[in-house]
Structure 1
């Protein structure tokens, strides 16, 4: 059986939306759902008078209420709960180690498009190799206007091996029976800015060459997932900006996070960072070599 889906729960509207999204995903994957709450003890002094028993009681209540609601929506879904005493980001990353997917809630930007990605969510994303999905209240699968058949958008990079990103995107599209659109942005080599007489045909030739490379990258996955309706969008310009625009109306945006080990720790690349903060749909971040 495939690994379970884990979701962070803290009683906030964002985490409740994430839990509903995660439950729907677990049903699609036919795997159990695990609800996790992490308490960083002792609490910040801003909460005077709260004892350990009070905190534990509140955490148990948040988990039991979430589990009860989800059982009412998905009666055949196996749901377990865990309450941990640890820093939330570290606890969630550890819990993700044996999960197939980690889902986190994130605040929306009000009337603006995008996310407010808190420190816990950002730290967790870069601390685990398990795919992580960030969900806002507006992304609630049971909310008004949600289109379950909306396309999945995936960012691809012809210069890097991104098999984990593509297999995640194709598997999600197959589960949801929805279209998949691959997006790749490219830029002219820096040396061309020094060419006094630039031939526009060169730009068109490079564009055609890049498009063929994207076709070649997608070909094995088209064969492996013949029922997935795949298209691609190759353009010259910022990949992050184009993915953000493509996220409007999408059911999910999938981006890669290259695993970089450095003295300063892991971090997100510019494209993943832009999409996380500005996308208008849930965002899946998938690590790759």
Structure 2
């Protein structure tokens, strides 16, 4: 049986938007959808049997609202669900081990401060064993599509680009494959972006000159990006790919590229550092400031 797309729901606008996004992704990938509600039970909060009944009743209501929301645009979708009496991070991390993809809502702020994620979403982005997609409140199906010729939102227009950040110093198959598959399932263009600085260089092999140290570093990086993506173009011949090489901070450039995208894909190292699981500065910048759904894909 196919592994499901799992979405965490708590009744918030962010989680309901995440549930809708997850349902659309399940349709695109032809995968089952599984909703998880965590009651945030802990020994300190444990009390009477009546309190447990109330928690379960509230959880049933949260799951029902999420399913009703999904049914508005996908009435025939088969959805499974469960309530877990545990902390949300623990419950969703465990569910992610059985999932193809975990989807959670993010706490969005309007104005100039950008996209601030809650502690649960931030922890899952850093710790979950598989890909995690973060979705803002208010995200709609139309937002994944380009505007029509009059500038209006539409479901009939092509999908917006999928943008993927590629670190050519440590290009990761898992991140690239996720991005190509996301573009393929949407019939969208893939925008692959690499950002470089004067201190960056990559050795291609013993005795070979390092990329980035020659007289035309940008052209060298562009050639390396093309080489890295060559096999993926062969694997996904129907995906139109545009490559961009820019100088400067990767996080800033990815946020800018994601402003017109339908999905922004970034990676994070799965190995823990001495300070525990973390996302790294580029991914952290993206998940705090991007204005579209963000997929964080772990890699070695």
TM-score w.r.t. the length of structure 2 is 0.86
Distance 2:154 2:129 in 1: 29
1:1-289 matched pairs, under 5 angstroms: 2-42=2-42, 51-112=51-112, 114-141=114-141, 145=153, 149-189=159-199, 205-289=216-300
Query: Tell me, what secondary structure is at the counterpart of 1:139?
Result: coil
2:16–2:69 Cα contact (<8 Å) kept: no
Q: Deviations over 1:90-142 (max 9, x none)?
A: 11011011111100001212133632211111111222121000001232225
Deviation at 1:60, TM superposition (A): 0.7
The structure in which a higher percent of residues are helix is 1
Number of corresponding residues: 276
User: Which of structure 1's runs of 4+ aligned residues deviate more than 3 A?
Assistant: 42-45, 142-148, 201-204
Q: Deviations over 1:223-247 (max 9, x none)?
A: 1111101011101111110000001
Deviation at 1:67, TM superposition (A): 1.4
Change (3 A) 1:208 1:55: same
Distance 1:44 1:246 in 2: 45
**Over the residues paired in the alignment, what is the CA RMSD in angstroms?**
2.3
Deviation at 1:203, TM superposition (A): 7.0
Deviation at 1:70, TM superposition (A): 1.5
Change (3 A) 1:138 1:146: farther
Distance 1:77 1:182 in 2: 33
Deviation at 1:254, TM superposition (A): 0.1
Give the aligned partner of residue 147 of structure 2: none
1:90–1:124 Cα contact (<8 Å) kept: no
Deviation at 1:262, TM superposition (A): 3.0
Q: Deviations over 1:141-190 (max 9, x none)?
A: 25783676100100001111310000000001000001110010011128
Distance 2:250 2:6 in 1: 30
Change (3 A) 1:249 1:81: same
1:140–1:146 Cα contact (<8 Å) kept: no
Change (3 A) 1:190 1:95: closer
Change (3 A) 1:162 1:30: same
Deviation at 1:44, TM superposition (A): 8.0
2:42–2:87 Cα contact (<8 Å) kept: no
Distance 2:289 2:123 in 1: 18
TM-score w.r.t. the length of structure 1 is 0.89
Distance 1:216 1:190 in 2: 18
Give the aligned partner of residue 198 of structure 1: none
Distance 1:243 1:35 in 2: 30
Deviation at 1:204, TM superposition (A): 5.4
Change (3 A) 1:246 1:161: closer
Distance 2:127 2:14 in 1: 21
